[in-house]
Structure 1
Amino acid sequence: MSEIVFRSRFDNGRRKAFERSPKVSLTSPDFYFSHCFGVCRKKTSMGPPGIIWVASRVTQPDKLSEERFCEWYEGQHIDEVTALSGVPAAARYEAVPMSELAGPPTAETIKAAEQRPDYLMGGKWLTIYEMKDVDFRHTAEFKSLDGQSKPKGNLLDEIFTKAHFETRFGALLSNDDKGIKKGPGKLIISATMTPGSRASAEDIEQFYEREHVAEIAKCPGYVRTRRFRWVDTTVLKEFERLPADPIEPGNSVVALHEFEGPYFPMEGLLKADETPWTARVLESLKKNGIEAGFYRLKRVYGEWLPGSSKL
């Protein structure tokens, strides 16, 4: 179960067909290629630039240490992905504790962090792969990756059955790349919203374009904001597929806000969230329709260019 494994692309028809189909072995080709990936499409045109977004964590630390997990993922797996022709770069991040967002932890921030917000993401690590074309995920080259079919060697037992991966593919919507540096910022916020209606989705689009990105850009250390629409998503916990609810491919949108500095500019971020338009947007979301995570950069891979729109 790698962080990019098993793209789950079921439309309603495929899902019903899967539910009606006879049981198949987890190691059979029918399971991996028919049920996990759907029918291969012949690519006729370029899709939009995009990302593979992968949140992960170890679920059985008594059997798989975080050190071993990172050794495999950061020392082997990411290199294999960025060696592909359609994935030129990646950035690896680690979650920042809530008590350390704005500065060194204090007794006050540690106590406050005990009240974990419902919207906070659960993955300890986040990896973002840059894609020249988000439809590259349909190609035979991409599907040849270890983990896009049955994992080789002992990876299934050693890694995949003892970890949790959430994999999403995002198509680029906008790129505000006017910050203080090129390349990944040292800090990133991943914020996904799932609109509750078509009107809500349109309002969120205007909210980002006309207000929110400009407010975020006022924060010290601002690097960029990129927005993507999720087009595919899958959750794999210990090699078992789970629903991705409340994330909805085609509806849910993520904003990636990047900053340079040792800590997040929380004063400016909180100020940006205090506007009447922000309140209206939050009220319009689906139940549990917001998700956010705060991460610090660990390592950069490949030829990273400033913004997917320039890949």
Structure 2
Amino acid sequence: MSPSSIRGPGLLCVTSRISSPSILSEETYFNWYDNDHIAEITSHAPMSSAFRYWDTDRSTAKKPYLAFYPMADLAFTQGEAFRGIRVKSDLLPGSGVVYDYAEVDVRYLGFVGGTGRKGEGRGKGSRSHVTRRPDFDALNSPATQLLSTLQTHPSHLRSLHFHLLYARTNAQSRKLKGLPPTSTDEDPDRAVPSWTAIHEFDRVIEKRELDELMKGAKAGFEGTKASEVRVYELKKVFGEKDFFFE
């Protein structure tokens, strides 16, 4: 993966967890996230919409918080305006640097294709579950079978497919922002899934519903690396509220 590949329509996808809960509370984290960080991000026209979710099963989620930013051209993230977005704030405790108290993964996902939205309206982003498949294309035969199965659910709105262009961890983000490394920063060479599918639903879907629905389709994944399915509930929408892959 190389930053030079970051261009074209796609998502900046961010998952995170609070690594120092004794110092940084959820309330403080999301006060900063909503009123400082995302507010600054969506002031830039190429990133004018943002969607923030929580994992519905936070007890098993490595990083239970999800935010993504749709962009017509991800190349914006390679410019000075993007690099200048602040990660230090008076709203955060101690050093004020978010990476000191939260572990943040950033993925640049290029848009591959998807199904048309059922019903009317743009920017719903209502509910979604995210499927990650590290070892095969989201549009190949087993994945197509899974997609067909998901589309039978009465609350399914649409499915979108993305290919990983680049990923960075806390350590790499600190370097990008000119911050010194720390001994607790994670391994930047760990494996990151190459494909992501986002399936939108018009209500919160329970994991057991999906497990039951996908029993037959899962047979197509035998012999592949583990496929992770996470279910997220929408918490807040920001800016122009436009999830534009229609």
Q: TM-score, normalised to structure 1's length?
A: 0.65
Give the letter for the 2:11 counterpart: I
Q: Given that residues 91 and 300 in structure 1 are in contact (C-alpha distance below 8 angstroms), is that contact kept between their aligned partners in structure 2?
A: yes
Give matches, 1:171-250, under 5 Å: 171-182=110-121, 183-195=123-135, 201=136, 204-207=138-141, 210-236=144-170, 240=185, 242-243=187-188, 245-247=190-192
Aligned residue in 2 for 1:165: 104
**Cα drift, residue 142 of structure 1:** 1.4
**Cα drift, residue 284 of structure 1:** 2.3
Q: 2:76 aligns with which of 128, 132, 136?
A: 136
Which structure's CA Rg is the greater one?
Answer: 1
Q: 1:146 aligns with which of 58, 82, 86?
A: 86
**Cα drift, residue 130 of structure 1:** 0.8
Cα gap change, 1:307 to 1:294, in 2 (>3 Å): same
**Cα drift, residue 262 of structure 1:** 4.1
Q: Given that residues 91 and 184 in structure 1 are in contact (C-alpha distance below 8 angstroms), is that contact kept between their aligned partners in structure 2?
A: no
Cα gap change, 1:273 to 1:134, in 2 (>3 Å): farther
The secondary structure found in structure 1 opposite 2:40 is: helix
Q: Given that residues 32 and 91 in structure 2 are in contact (C-alpha distance below 8 angstroms), is that contact kept between their aligned partners in structure 1?
A: no
From the two aligned structures, give the one with the greater helix fraction.
1
Distance in 2 separating the partners of 1:154 and 1:267: 39
Distance in 1 separating the partners of 2:157 and 2:189: 30
Give matches, 1:255-266, under 5 Å: 255-264=197-206, 266=208
Check if 1:298 corresponds to 2:235. Answer: yes
Check if 1:47 corresponds to 2:34. Answer: no
**Cα drift, residue 128 of structure 1:** 1.0
Unpaired runs of at least 5, structure 2: 172-181
The secondary structure found in structure 1 opposite 2:231 is: strand
Cα gap change, 1:244 to 1:51, in 2 (>3 Å): farther
Aligned residue in 2 for 1:14: none
**Cα drift, residue 226 of structure 1:** 0.8
**Cα drift, residue 266 of structure 1:** 4.2
Cα gap change, 1:91 to 1:180, in 2 (>3 Å): same
Distance in 2 separating the partners of 1:179 and 1:208: 23
Q: Given that residues 17 and 104 in structure 2 are in contact (C-alpha distance below 8 angstroms), is that contact kept between their aligned partners in structure 1?
A: yes
Runs of 4+ in 1 over 4 A off after TM superposition: 152-156
Check if 1:272 corresponds to 2:214. Answer: yes
Distance in 2 separating the partners of 1:262 and 1:284: 28
Check if 1:307 corresponds to 2:241. Answer: no
Deviates more, 1:262-271 or 1:161-170: 262-271
Residues matched between the structures, number = 232
**Cα drift, residue 162 of structure 1:** 1.0
Aligned residue in 1 for 2:223: 283
Cα gap change, 1:170 to 1:78, in 2 (>3 Å): same
Aligned residue in 1 for 2:174: none
Q: Given that residues 207 and 231 in structure 2 are in contact (C-alpha distance below 8 angstroms), is that contact kept between their aligned partners in structure 1?
A: no
Percent identical residues: 21
**Cα drift, residue 268 of structure 1:** 5.5
Q: Given that residues 28 and 91 in structure 2 are in contact (C-alpha distance below 8 angstroms), is that contact kept between their aligned partners in structure 1?
A: no
**Cα drift, residue 274 of structure 1:** 1.5
Q: Could you list the per-position Cα deviations for residues 214-251 of structure 1 after superposition, in whole angstroms to 9, with x for gaps in the alignment? A: 22111121111111111111121777353252215xxx
The secondary structure found in structure 1 opposite 2:221 is: helix
